[in-house]
Amino acid sequence: MPNHVAVIMDGNRRWAGSRNFPIVFGYEAGFRAFKRLIELACNWGIGTLTVFAFSSENWCRPKAETDLLMGLFERILRFELEHFMRENIRISLIGDATKLPKQLQSLLVDAVEATQNNSRLHLIVAANYSGRSDVVQACRKIAFKVKDGLIDPNDINEYLVERELETSCTDFPHPDLLIRTSGELRMSNFLLWQLAYTELYFTNALWPDFGESEFLEALCSFQQRQRRYGGNL
């Protein structure tokens, strides 16, 4: 079983479009699928779940749509925090929260603090996150340490970079399995460094339609993979 699963929850707008619904219905259906995913992860003993809620590239969407999404995130945090506490779910946030609306920022900070001792499932939410920016900010922190004479450039190694990545909030920053819905075959700048050896699973199902059977298919596919990490079997 994968210990850490990452999910790109793609296809909410297409789902709404195919039914002639307004986009907000797509996002709300997407949220229901997200709740189902959390329950499945808990039931199947997944330790860490990282979800791509909002990419830094999504700011290019129309303002009305991004406002809608931010509003939805706020509603979710307000109404679901109690549920996360009950289910013993820990929430962490990766990404540049400073660009999010102030109210959402403070709700996120509260949620992270309130759930920090929970241990059943570690839910990492990537909001306004970019894999490349994560690597750059890690290298920047290391560059400051070099400038301050704390380390020599020759001391820079993969372990040092990994420690400075935003995913250092977990002991298992490398997803075993990444699921992307809606048939798109791209990483879209999500978790760059951390995906070095991740098994990738792509499904045509749109995110709001992703349920237990789709999740089990992904798990089955994972179990059939032979992970060699470049070495021998």
Partner 1 sequence: MRKSLFRILSVGPIPNHIAFILDGNRRYAKKRNLNEGMGYRAGFLSLMTLCKYCCELGVKYVTIYAFSIDNFKRKPHEVDAVMDLMLEKIQGMLKEESIVSQYGVRVYFIGNLELLNEHVRQAAVKAMEATSNNDKIVLLICVAYTSTDEIVHAARESCEAKRARVRSSGAREGNEEELKVVDIERHMYMGVAPDPDILVRTSGETRLSNFLLWQTSNCVLYSPRALWPEIGLRHLVWAVLNYQRVFPLLERRRKQM
Applying CB under 8 A, the residues found at the interface with partner 1 are: 57, 60, 131-133, 135-136, 139-140, 142-144, 146-147, 153-154, 156-158, 161, 184-190, 192-193, 195-202, 225-226, 229-232
**CA–CA dist 233, 156 (Å, integer):** 31
Instruction: Please pick, among 10, 110, 134, 148, the residue that the annotation labels catalytic.
Output: 10
Question: Shortest approach of partner 1 to residue 35 CB, angstroms?
Answer: 27
Instruction: Kindly compute the dihedral angle of the four CA atoms of residues 207, 59, 99, 79, in this order, to the nearest 10 degrees.
Output: -30
Nearer to partner 1, 65 or 74 (CB): 65
Nearer to partner 1, 112 or 202 (CB): 202
Q: Encoding tokens for residue 1? A: 């079983």
Active site residue 148: no
Nearer to partner 1, 102 or 149 (CB): 149
Question: Shortest approach of partner 1 to residue 192 CB, angstroms?
Answer: 5
Nearer to partner 1, 58 or 118 (CB): 58
Per-position b or e across 3-36, b if 16+ CB within 10 A of its CB:
ebbbbbbbbbbbbbeeeeeebbebbbbbbebbeb
* The amino acid at 206: L
Question: Shortest approach of partner 1 to residue 92 CB, angstroms?
Answer: 22
User: What's the angle, vertex CA 137, arms to CA 58 and CA 152, rounded to 5?
Assistant: 165
Question: Shortest approach of partner 1 to residue 164 CB, angstroms?
Answer: 10
Q: SS3 helix, strand, coil % of the chain, rounded to 5? A: 50, 15, 30
Q: Which residues are catalytic?
A: 10
